[in-house]
Amino acid sequence: MLDISSLASVALIFAITFLITFISTPLIGKVMRRHGIIGKDVHKPSEIKLPEMCGLAILVGLTIGTICSVFFFPGATLETTAFMGTVLIAGGIGVVDDLRPLSARIKPLLTAIACLPILLLGTYDPRPTIPLLGTVRLTIVYPFLIPVAIAVTSNGVNMMDVLNGSMSGTVGIISIAVTAILLISGDVNSARLGAGLVAAVLAFHYFSRYPAKVFSGDTGTLSVGAALAALAILGKIETVMIVALIPHIMNAFYGLSSVGRLYERREIRQRPTRLLSDGTIDASAERSAPVTLTRIILATGPMREPEIVRGMMFLTLISTVLAVLTYGITLAGRV
């Protein structure tokens, strides 16, 4: 049952992770700028260059928050280690990709490896609960689905990082709802991990929202995506997470199906959007351009960058409400 001490433990991990991420983001930004690790903010009329790879701050915040969680509340060390191992491997792949870009085919395969801590430590239950279906036994198949889940989620979140604050804003909404669900379900350890993710993403959002001062890079996006997948597996809320991630799935699925293969943004010649002279962004009318979520949002006419991000956050809010409803339906089915 949910009690004051559980809530206090969740709040403590939130506070530590938020503080560490908030302090380290500008510091890492300065280091990246000094080393020339910068990227162009393409949706601005003027030439603006921002430090890349600042998602390292999310990784630093999450790692310290998780270590504190193990230190103060040693009840579920195995699950916490599996969570952090997955996030660190995905983050490491992100670091490699930021420094030396990986091909579109190699990256999903490498991110799938991030599932190893969960598989090796056996911190999964191969009996997921599905709404209207109840608990299903997938003893043999479930371990094969874990790498797929990690790869899809981390790359889906990565593909959403196209505008200032679009990744941190949308993941922030999802992780708040997921943490609340985990708290209500009584899984306090997973809720603490979720609270760490909420804190890291929200602290980072302060710097990455429009007009951004830092870029997350694949270091941040892949680790955050892997963290969401790991939370879903450890907290046994797989279906809830799929529903919450509908905008991310929509973005990745349409992008891939319209291009017909795995692709990297830099490989695409026909851009899905174009920057107009007044600073607004419009959807491309080219048939061969990828159909991304940004392009779908802009189908009715041009918008300013922060308006598009607010639109993405609105759609994520809707999917999160549907995810909470899904959890309710699943609970009702159990009774």
Partner 1 sequence: MKRLLPLAGIEVFVWSVLLLSTLLISRLAFTINLGNSSILYRIATETIRVLVSGIIVLIWLFVWKKVTDFYFWRAIARSRSTAQKSSER
- Distance, in Å, from the CA atom of 92 to the CA atom of 220, rounded to the nearest integer, reads 10
Q: How far is the CB of 296 from partner 1 (least distance, A)?
A: 5
Asked if residue 245 binds partner 1 (CB under 8 A), the reply is no
Instruction: Give CA–CA dist 322/320, Å, rounded.
Output: 5
CA separation for the pair 107, 123 (Å, rounded): 24
Q: Under the criterion CB under 8 A, does residue 143 sit at the interface with partner 1?
A: no
Q: Which is nearer to partner 1, 78 or 318 (CB)?
A: 318
The length of the chain in residues reads 335
Q: Which residues contact 289 (CB under 8 A, 6 or more apart)?
A: 258, 268, 270, 271, 272, 295
Task: Tell me the per-residue interface mask from 74 to 93 with partner 1, x by CB under 8 A, - otherwise.
Answer: --------------------
Tell whether residue 322 is a contact of partner 1 (CB under 8 A).
yes
332 lies in the site for partner 1, by CB under 8 A? no
Binding region for partner 1 (CB under 8 A) out of 26-34, 195-203, 218-226, 289-297: 289-297
Identify which of 211, 114, 208, 222 has the alpha carbon closest to the alpha carbon of residue 159: 222
Find the angle CA(136)-CA(142)-CA(144) to the nearest 5 degrees.
160
Please select the residue that binds partner 1; options are 23, 310, 324, 331, rule is CB under 8 A.
Answer: 310
The residues near 1 (Cβ < 8 Å, ≥ 6 apart) are: 186
Distance, CA of 160 to CA of 266 (rounded, Å) = 15
Which range in 99-107, 125-133, 202-210, 265-273 contacts partner 1 by CB under 8 A? 125-133
155 belongs to the binding site for partner 1 (CB under 8 A): no
The verdict on 299 binding partner 1 (CB under 8 A) reads yes
Does 131 contact partner 1 by CB under 8 A? Answer: yes
Residues 246-275 that bind partner 1 (CB under 8 A): 246-247, 250, 253-254, 257
Select the residue interacting with partner 1 from 27, 78, 318, 332 (CB under 8 A): 318
Can you tell me which of 20, 32, 291, 309 binds partner 1, judged by CB under 8 A? 291
* From candidates 133, 148, 276, 332, binder to partner 1 by CB under 8 A: 133
Of the residues 42, 99, 136, 148, which one makes contact with partner 1 according to CB under 8 A:
136
* Min separation Cβ 312 and partner 1, Å: 9
- Contact residues for partner 1, defined by CB under 8 A: 130-134, 136, 138-141, 239, 242-243, 246-247, 250, 253-254, 257, 283, 285, 291, 295-297, 299-301, 310-311, 314-315, 318-319, 322, 326, 329
